[in-house]
Amino acid sequence: MVKTPTGKNTSGRGQRDLRVRVKTAKGRKLSSTLWLERQLNDPYVARARKEGYRGRAAFKILELDDKYRFLVPGARVVDLGCAPGGWCQVAVKRVNALGEKSGKKVGTVLGVDLQEVDAIAGAEVHQLDFLSEGADDKVKAWLGGTAHVVMSDMAAASSGHQNTDHLRIIALCEAAAYFAFDVLEEGGTFVAKVLAGGAENELLTILKKNFTKVANVKPPASRSDSSEKFVVAQGFRGKRHEGEDDEDGEL
């Protein structure tokens, strides 16, 4: 179980603000200074560094898995947009990809990304555009079968316009969902980052038609001032064929 770092000073009397303050250096933007100050004071950043994770985002998937239990020993996992690799690191440990848990099934972790990613112990990483033709067949060939879990922490490049960024990340998440429909086996799980803003309702409708359980949650590691949430869709109903009706009799 992941413990939530509090970053609080509980020394009692004489307690003082231990927050690191950063002065704006000449030639550095205020926004850069504020980002640096936030990083230096973020307990998840410090813990990621201490525990060897490539970023604080690792704790988001840890907390989601603590609650929904989809990264089980023996699972075959695909991480879309895996850079810098923190989610893959978590998956490697939890699905027993290195075979370190005696008597447990050994899983597989496959990471794909548009950019080259440094090697991750226990994971197989490929430079691939998951939207390219035949990408789903390549992934299944690398896995040696269908996936039990498809997960994505991807976000489209920020434009600085909130509504535009919201629509972009929802579109990216929908594309990841349809990719998951092609590579998941029945009963599988899809996990992806979204931004709250209204357009995610259509995505949730699509997921509810294809999975038995769908949750829209914000794990503790997700910053409180961020609009990001995560969808966790479990119990994949299986790939549908053209013309097949859903439970409501709609196409």
Instruction: Assess whether 40 and 121 both reside in one domain.
Output: no
- Does residue 142 have a known ligand-binding role? no
Query: pTM of the full predicted structure?
Result: 0.80
140 and 221, same structural domain? yes
Q: Are residues 96 and 174 in the same domain?
A: yes
* Helical spans, DSSP H, in 21-153: 30-40, 43-51, 58-68, 86-94, 135-143
Paired with 228 in beta bridges are 195
The candidate with the shortest Cα–Cα distance to 75, out of 100, 104, 103, 107, is 107
Quick one: pLDDT band at residue 3, thresholds 50, 70, 90?
Answer: low
Domain annotation covers residue 17: no
Residue 146 CB partners (closer than 8 Å, separation 6+)? 76, 140, 183, 184, 185, 188
Q: Answer yes or no: do 81 and 33 share one domain.
A: no
Domain count, the chain: 2
Look at the block and give the residue holding tokens 């205020």: 30
pLDDT tens digits along 63-121? 999 999 999 999 999 999 999 999 999 999 999 999 999 999 999 999 999 999 999 99
Residue 22 has pLDDT above 70, yes or no: no
* 41 confidence band (pLDDT: 50, 70, 90): low
Kindly state whether residue 246 falls inside one of the protein's structural domains.
no
The pLDDT value recorded for residue 101 is 94
Is 122 part of any known ligand binding site?
no
Is 50 exceeded by the pLDDT of residue 247? no
β-pair partners for 216: 231
Torsion of CA 106, 109, 195, 40, to 10 degrees: 90
Residue 163 and residue 66 share a domain: yes
**Whether residue 72 sits in one domain with residue 85:** yes
Q: Which of 32-41, 90-99, 234-243 has the lowest mean pLDDT?
A: 32-41
The pLDDT value recorded for residue 27 is 55
95 in the same domain as 186: yes
Give 96-108 pLDDT, tens digit per residue.
999 999 999 999 9
Would you give the end-to-end CA distance of the chain in angstroms?
41
Q: Residue 32 belongs to what domain range?
A: 24-53
Specify whether 31 is located in the same domain as 84: no
Q: Given this model, what pLDDT does residue 86 score?
A: 97
Residues identified as active-site: 193
Confidence label for 132 from pLDDT (cuts 50, 70 and 90): very high
Q: What pLDDT, on the 0 to 100 scale, is given for residue 117?
A: 96
Q: Is 87 annotated as a binding residue?
A: yes
- For residue 210, the domain's CATH number is 3.40.50.150
